[in-house]
Amino acid sequence: MSWRPAFWLAAILTVAVDQATKQWALSALTPGTEHQLLGDLLSLQLVFNSGAAFSFGNSSTLILTVVAVVLTVGILWYGRRASATWSAVLLGMGLGGAIGNLIDRLFREPSFGEGHVVDMIKYGDLFIGNVADIAIVGAAIWAVIAGLFGHRLLEHEAATEAEATESTADGV
């Protein structure tokens, strides 16, 4: 399908930007020190998050890693059913965000599978996140908005199976 490159490009770019900003934060920021960008609304502050959003699951890092792996596999599975290029990009962004944070959980301190996610974008007193979080939340919001306007994110399974059969018959 013509949208597949968009899916993979969105995922790869999201992972690359996420990991690059995390490396920058690790080299340029001191943990816990806040650098205001827009007053109290937006700042940079390096933290290492063992849990999920809003410090949920801080003592369940390994469980969150397993959930992240399952979600990543799920996005890969459903990604083949994207209905159009725009939905492939959204799914690719979600995949890239999931992989970006999964890389941290697998390979950062304190140990494999229990690594802490590098966060650096502080949104007032609400939470601190990263580029992967922006991609995941942004993709989810756009998917909901598209759904509200009647746009499908995924093709029906029957259409995907018919297309696969057609591709096989054509020798593709």
- Identify the CA nearest to 7 among candidates 97, 91, 107, 110: 91
Concatenating the DSSP letter of every residue in 50-72 gives SSSGGGTTTT-HHHHHHHHHHHH
Known active-site residue 170: no
Annotated catalytic residue, options 18, 104, 125, 133: 133
Task: Based on the residue annotation, tell me whether 18 is a catalytic residue of this protein.
Answer: no
Q: Of these residues, 18, 40, 104, 119, which one is catalytic?
A: 119
AA identity, residue 4:
R
Taking residue 15's Cβ as centre, other Cβ atoms within 10 Å add up to 23
Active site residues: 119, 133
